[in-house]
């Protein structure tokens, strides 16, 4: 078994590699639906009874992937720790195991923090590739926590013409830290940053808007954004959370989700819109899934006046599996990580 710490994972996992791995997975699912198995994740609330710690959750996310020759079991174990930013640690802590189903041997044990960040961002990158204007120039990042770095990296990977990035965070100092860290960690992107005092200024001229917050009500209305803006919403991962307002959902000509089944329980924005008697949006108006885009069951004409497009991400174990398996296979080929005989 190979043990791959976060530093080893970071050295070999690129955004392009993650995007390619997930697109390959979605193609396989389209052609052979039974080759990828992802049972519903197990979610256990944490610290619900504590008055001194913020409640979070622990998740077990298994998947089985068959590639036509070999089959693998990949399991991600996640703990959501809302108090971690105060400790200078990621809110989402995770580890991933990769096993060979032929022999049952564990092939790799990987740090899953970076894999989670990159695969979540890669989903936004894929959605942006299929839903955002090809000549997008301005991006807005709303919520500048740990997930936001790779999410911005992903949209720049597929829309490299972006030159202006507007930042907004509830705590302005965090947005300034984001700017400094992003410039240092991603010198390949020549973009100008503006830290905005209010969210309205950040989103006003944005062609692409990235959302990654724990908001419980819509952050802005449809009238406040461009008529053809694309939105990637990766926050609001519980039914009680909401960062995309009903007016934005209702105004969207396309609403795409990564995992339709998971969204019924976890996509707070869409769940609340569906349940709101004053909302005109219901689940039967969902345009489709990311797989539908990849496999051309849903097509969006980006050369026309496409209107507002919305991508809602809740995540699924299969996406982690695709990226983790790619990393594990590369590590074996290049003899990376620490090998431990079990």
DSSP per residue, 52-93: SS--EEEEEEEEEEE-SS-EEEEEEEEEE-TTGGGGTS-SEE
Q: What pLDDT was estimated at residue 237?
A: 86
Cα 278 from Cα 192, distance rounded (Å): 40
Quick check: 326 and 22 in contact, CB under 8 A?
no
pTM: 0.92
Q: What pLDDT was estimated at residue 90?
A: 86
Cα 208 from Cα 137, distance rounded (Å): 9
Q: What is the pLDDT of residues 91-141, one digit of tens each?
A: 889 999 999 999 999 999 999 999 999 999 999 999 999 999 999 999 999
Phi, psi of 249 (to 5 degrees): -60, -45
Cα 268 from Cα 164, distance rounded (Å): 30
User: Alpha helix locations (H) across the chain?
Assistant: 6-12, 15-31, 113-131, 146-158, 172-185, 199-203, 246-251, 260-266, 268-275, 290-294, 317-334
Instruction: Name the DSSP class of 51.
Output: S
Helical pair 172-185 and 146-158, crossing angle rounded to 10 deg: 50
Quick check: 188 and 166 in contact, CB under 8 A?
no
Q: What is the pLDDT of residues 309-337, one digit of tens each?
A: 999 999 899 999 999 999 999 999 999 99
Quick check: 222 and 245 in contact, CB under 8 A?
yes
């Amino acid at each position: 078994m190979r043990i791959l710490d976060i530093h080893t994972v970071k050295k070999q996992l690129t955004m392009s590699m993650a995007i390619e791995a997930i697109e390959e997975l979605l193609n396989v699912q389209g052609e052979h639906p039974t080759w990828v198995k992802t049972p519903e994740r197990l979610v256990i609330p944490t610290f619900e009874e504590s008055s001194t710690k913020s409640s979070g959750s622990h998740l077990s996310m298994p998947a089985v992937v068959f590639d036509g020759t070999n089959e693998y079991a990949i399991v991600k174990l996640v703990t959501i720790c809302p108090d971690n930013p105060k400790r200078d640690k990621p809110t989402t802590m995770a580890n991933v195991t990769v096993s060979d189903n032929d022999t049952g041997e564990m092939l790799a044990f990987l740090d899953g923090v970076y894999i989670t960040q990159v695969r979540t961002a890669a989903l936004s990158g894929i959605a942006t590739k299929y839903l955002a204007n090809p000549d997008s120039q301005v991006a807005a990042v709303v919520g500048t926590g740990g997930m936001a770095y790779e999410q911005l990296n992903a949209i720049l990977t597929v829309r490299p013409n972006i030159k202006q990035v507007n930042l907004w965070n509830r705590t302005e100092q965090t947005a300034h830290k984001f700017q400094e860290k992003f410039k240092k960690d991603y010198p390949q992107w020549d973009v100008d940053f503006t830290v905005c005092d209010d969210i309205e200024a950040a989103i006003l001229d944005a062609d692409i808007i990235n959302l990654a917050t724990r908001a419980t009500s819509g952050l802005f209305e449809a009238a406040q954004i461009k008529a053809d803006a694309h939105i990637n919403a990766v926050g609001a991962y519980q039914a009680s959370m909401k960062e995309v307002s009903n007016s934005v959902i209702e105004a969207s000509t396309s609403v795409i989700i990564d995992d339709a089944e998971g969204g019924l329980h976890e996509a707070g924005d869409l769940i609340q819109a569906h349940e709101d008697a004053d909302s005109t949006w219901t689940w039967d108006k969902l345009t489709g899934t990311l797989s539908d885009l990849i496999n051309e069951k849903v097509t969006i004409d980006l050369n026309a006046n496409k209107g507002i497009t919305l991508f809602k991400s809740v995540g699924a174990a299969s996406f982690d599996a695709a990226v983790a398996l790619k990393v594990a296979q590369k590590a074996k080929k290049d003899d990376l990580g620490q090998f431990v005989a079990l």
